[in-house]
């Protein structure tokens, strides 16, 4: 039997072992990821509520939420950065720690039955797409953690303090939306980081998360909470010099998708 509370305790013990107690900036970086993980766990509990999952599958989803960013701590320790590079991608780092350092046996001592599902979910949770040939069960749990993770990104972007952190370091350039991104929005395709040139492009990338949801309940949760609208409103307030017609286009693309689900709101 899986035990979520035990995994949570062990995860917290592991993550807190990176705290120095002396270097405040360094410790802040660790605490940010602990807080993110706990929020993703809370969102995961919301998502699985309405799914036709067995009790053990619910627990597995919660354990994946707890472990999905386990690679962030050593990434921060080595680079003091959360930017994924060829040298260190936190998804692969997480898989490596769990598999090669056998930490999965420490976090989940009860059974080896779910190892491959957990490892694949950790490995693919932050990639642009997941392999088409993943077995069905692995794919399901990959998709669910991707949805929970996306939800937390949109939550953060809707909060004023974190909004600045998520947007401020991007350039301004011509203050217009990259036309290639406009085409992707129109097709309701994902927006890849390679198209990002300015703050409006990153806004569009974040809006495009909405049509990448697999679990519609998770997307409807974001819709109900108004995270994306709040993010766009903050953008308008903070960057009024950006092209208003491009901003309207982004809003229209969002409403087009949200409109499809108007009847499903309680
Ligand atoms: Fe992640």
Is the CB of residue 7 less than 8 Å from the CB of residue 106? no
Give me the CATH topology for the region 4-149. Hypothetical protein af1432 (1.10.3210)
Report pLDDT digits (tens) over 160-191.
988 988 898 899 999 999 999 999 999 999 99
Is the CB of residue 198 less than 8 Å from the CB of residue 179? no
Question: pTM of the prediction?
Answer: 0.90
Report pLDDT digits (tens) over 42-101.
999 999 998 999 999 999 999 999 999 999 999 999 999 888 888 899 999 999 999 999
CA of 156 to the centre of ligand 1 (A): 14
CA of 187 to the centre of ligand 1 (A): 26
CA of 37 to the centre of ligand 1 (A): 9
CA of 67 to the centre of ligand 1 (A): 9
Is the CB of residue 123 less than 8 Å from the CB of residue 70? no
CA distances from 6 to 32, 178, 215 (A): 21, 47, 27
CA of 90 to the centre of ligand 1 (A): 7
C-beta neighbour count of 172 within 10 angstroms: 12
- CA-wise closest residue to 176 among 255, 245, 252, 254: 245
- Distance, in Å, from the CA atom of 44 to the CA atom of 211, rounded to the nearest integer, reads 18
CA of 244 to the centre of ligand 1 (A): 32
Domain ranges of the chain: 4-149, 158-264
* pLDDT over 70 at 251, yes or no: yes
Report pLDDT digits (tens) over 119-149.
999 999 998 889 999 999 999 999 999 999 9
Residues 6+ apart with CB under 8 A from 222: 151, 154, 155, 210, 213, 228
Tokens 């929020």 belong to residue: 39
CA of 121 to the centre of ligand 1 (A): 10
pLDDT band at 264 (very low <50, low <70, confident <90, very high): low
């Amino acid at each position: 039997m899986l035990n979520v509370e035990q995994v949570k305790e062990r995860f917290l013990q592991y993550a807190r072992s990176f705290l120095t107690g002396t270097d405040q900036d360094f410790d802040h970086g660790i605490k940010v990821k602990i807080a993110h993980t706990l929020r993703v766990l809370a969102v995961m509990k919301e998502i699985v509520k309405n799914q036709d999952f067995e009790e053990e599958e619910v627990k597995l989803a919660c354990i994946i939420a707890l472990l999905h960013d386990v690679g962030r701590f050593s990434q921060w320790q080595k680079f003091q950065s959360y930017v994924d590079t060829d040298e260190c991608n936190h998804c692969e780092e997480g898989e490596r720690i769990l598999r090669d350092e056998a930490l999965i046996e420490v976090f989940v001592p009860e059974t080896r039955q779910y190892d491959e599902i957990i490892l694949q979910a950790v490995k693919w949770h932050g990639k642009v797409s997941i392999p088409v040939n993943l077995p069905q069960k692995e794919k399901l749990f990959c998709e669910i953690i991707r949805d929970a993770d996306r939800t937390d990104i949109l939550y953060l972007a809707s909060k004023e303090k974190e909004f600045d952190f998520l947007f401020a370091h991007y350039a301004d350039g011509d203050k217009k939306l990259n036309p290639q991104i406009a085409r992707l929005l129109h097709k309701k395709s994902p927006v890849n980081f390679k198209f990002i040139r300015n703050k409006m492009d990153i806004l569009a990338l974040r809006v495009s998360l909405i049509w990448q949801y697999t679990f519609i309940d998770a997307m409807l949760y974001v819709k109900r909470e108004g995270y994306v609208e709040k993010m766009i409103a903050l953008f308008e307030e903070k960057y009024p010099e950006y092209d208003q017609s491009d901003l309207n286009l982004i809003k229209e693309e969002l409403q087009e998708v949200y409109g499809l689900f108007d009847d499903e709101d309680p």
